[in-house]
């Protein structure tokens, strides 16, 4: 299957080629024709599957041919759970909107930053990517209207429910016209999602892509049995002896994320933390620097375990195990993606052993546990030689 066979416009095909998208991913093969036929879609897929382009491309294709609507009336609304995801999705929209034969202004809006520039920026916007709370504020302050929405996307709907956005989601649905196309994406189909599904979708085409198990095969998983007080030395030892140049570390609390990043930095390892208590600016900058390779270590809470796509991330470390096996899979799924191998390392304290067993059982894969108690965790000397000057 090629993008040409999927009947995407020539302009889009050219951008696809420029972006190195040689052939459509499975979710795109299924979602693009369904969306182009104006069907509702229920997509069970997660980050890494290519779902973003799976809905962005046909939306652009349909809007390119549609008549231009009134100003400050959004055509396509994409609702996402986090600001990071909003920024990321809008980047995809922006890239593919270039070179189309129609104006296709898009914008990402989210809370935690001033609303005024967003209100002003709404001029001419056709595709809006938004987190729920700020979206409602913008509608209520009449910065724009959702009354003529043609297409609605709810992305990572399960995450939205986990974050407690249920009421907001229902409220947003009440702002929309009855006649519209609906696309709902979720990594899992939970019973809690049923209500939203029923409210939103009309006889949808159901598309399921098993990304989790596929990805897991690509990930080399390692576990280290370690006492809590030895985690810091083990972490530094692994980073330095393995010469890890881009590593994402997960902790279970904001406090721990800061502590781990500070400790690494004190030992001369370039590290920053990102989590919900950081400003939007700090989060965006940390992620940008990490993605570009300017920042060696990013320490994050589960905020980042889903939805953020970093191509070719070689190492993920679970400094602390997540509570749910699902979160474990999402976390380690940040590596070994897009057909590139990666390594996921977990630190297991004696207290974690039982929980780690449950995780492995749920995942259907056993991970070799290395005991570190007798390991010498002294980091190796830096990899350069000093030449003696006479």
Residues forming contacts to ligand AMP in the complex (CB under 6 A) are 21, 24-25, 28, 47-53, 309, 311, 338
C-alpha span between 61 and 32 (Å, rounded):
10
Q: How far is the CB of 332 from ligand AMP (least distance, A)?
A: 16
Q: How far is the CB of 276 from ligand AMP (least distance, A)?
A: 21
Cβ proximity to ligand AMP, 91 vs 166, nearer residue: 91
Tokens in use for 328? 């474990």
Q: Terminal CA-to-CA distance of the chain, rounded, Å?
A: 67
Q: How far is the CB of 95 from ligand AMP (least distance, A)?
A: 9
Q: What is the CA radius of gyration of the chain?
A: 22
Q: Give ∠ CA 15-43-333 in degrees, rounded to 5.
A: 75
Distance of CA 194 to the CA centre of its chain: 23
Please report where in the chains the tokens 């209500």 appear, as a residue.
195
C-alpha span between 388 and 315 (Å, rounded):
36
Tokens in use for 347? 């630190």
Cβ proximity to ligand AMP, 309 vs 343, nearer residue: 309
Q: How far is the CB of 24 from ligand AMP (least distance, A)?
A: 5
Q: Identify which of 79, 106, 81 has the alpha carbon closest to the alpha carbon of residue 92.
A: 106
Cβ proximity to ligand AMP, 268 vs 341, nearer residue: 341
Distance of CA 126 to the CA centre of its chain: 23
The secondary element (H helix, E strand) that includes residue 258 is: helix 254-266
Cβ proximity to ligand AMP, 96 vs 356, nearer residue: 96
Range 377-384 contact pairs with CB under 8 angstroms and sequence separation of 24 or more:
377/230, 377/233, 377/234, 377/236, 377/237, 378/237, 379/236, 379/237, 379/240, 379/241, 380/240, 380/241, 383/243
Cβ proximity to ligand AMP, 77 vs 235, nearer residue: 77
Q: DSSP 3-state assignment of 169? A: helix
C-alpha span between 230 and 283 (Å, rounded):
28
C-alpha span between 293 and 285 (Å, rounded):
12
Cβ proximity to ligand AMP, 153 vs 235, nearer residue: 153
Which positions ≥6 away from 376 have C-beta within 8 Å?
none
Instruction: Determine contact, residues 383/243, Cβ cutoff 8 Å.
Output: yes
Cβ proximity to ligand AMP, 2 vs 370, nearer residue: 2
Q: How far is the CB of 89 from ligand AMP (least distance, A)?
A: 8
Q: How far is the CB of 107 from ligand AMP (least distance, A)?
A: 19
Cβ proximity to ligand AMP, 50 vs 132, nearer residue: 50
Cβ proximity to ligand AMP, 50 vs 322, nearer residue: 50
Q: How far is the CB of 184 from ligand AMP (least distance, A)?
A: 15
Cβ proximity to ligand AMP, 49 vs 318, nearer residue: 49
Distance of CA 137 to the CA centre of its chain: 24
C-alpha span between 303 and 120 (Å, rounded):
29
Q: How far is the CB of 19 from ligand AMP (least distance, A)?
A: 7
Q: How far is the CB of 28 from ligand AMP (least distance, A)?
A: 6
Q: How far is the CB of 59 from ligand AMP (least distance, A)?
A: 13
């Amino acid at each position: 299957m090629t993008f040409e066979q999927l009947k995407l416009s020539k302009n889009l095909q050219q951008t696809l080629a420029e972006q190195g998208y040689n052939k459509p991913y499975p979710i795109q093969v299924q979602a693009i024709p369904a969306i182009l036929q104006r069907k509702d879609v229920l997509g069970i897929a997660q980050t890494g599957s290519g779902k973003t382009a799976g809905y962005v491309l046909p939306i652009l294709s349909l809007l390119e041919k549609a008549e231009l609507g009134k100003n400050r009336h959004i055509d396509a609304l994409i609702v996402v759970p986090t600001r990071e995801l909003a920024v990321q999705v809008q980047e995809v929209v922006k890239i593919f909107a270039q070179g189309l034969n129609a104006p296709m202004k898009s914008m990402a809006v989210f809370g935690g930053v001033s609303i005024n520039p967003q209100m002003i920026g709404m001029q001419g916007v056709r595709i809006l990517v938004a987190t729920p709370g700020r979206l409602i504020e913008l509608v209520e302050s009449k910065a724009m209207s959702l009354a003529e929405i043609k297409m609605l996307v709810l992305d990572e709907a399960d995450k939205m429910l986990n974050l407690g956005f249920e009421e907001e989601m229902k409220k947003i649905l009440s702002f929309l016209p009855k006649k519209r196309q609906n696309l709902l994406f979720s990594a899992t189909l939970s019973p809690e999602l049923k209500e939203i599904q029923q409210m939103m979708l009309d006889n949808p085409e159901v598309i399921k892509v098993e990304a989790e198990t596929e990805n897991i095969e690509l990930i080399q998983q390692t576990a280290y049995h370690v006492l809590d007080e030895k985690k810091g030395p083990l972490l530094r030892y692994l980073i330095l002896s393995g010469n890890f140049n881009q590593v994402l570390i997960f902790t279970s609390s904001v406090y721990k994320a800061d502590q781990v990043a500070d400790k690494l930095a004190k030992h001369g390892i370039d590290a920053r933390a990102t989590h919900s208590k950081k400003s939007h600016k700090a989060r965006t900058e940390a992620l940008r620097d990490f993605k570009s390779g300017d920042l060696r270590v990013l320490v994050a809470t589960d905020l980042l375990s889903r939805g953020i796509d970093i191509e070719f991330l070689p190492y993920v470390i679970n400094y602390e195990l997540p509570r749910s096996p699902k979160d474990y899979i999402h976390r380690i799924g940040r590596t070994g993606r897009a057909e590139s191998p990666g390594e996921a390392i977990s630190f297991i304290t004696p207290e974690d052993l039982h929980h780690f067993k449950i995780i492995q059982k749920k995942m259907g894969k056993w991970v070799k546990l290395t005991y570190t108690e007798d390991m010498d965790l002294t980091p190796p000397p830096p990899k350069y030689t000093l030449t003696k000057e006479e």
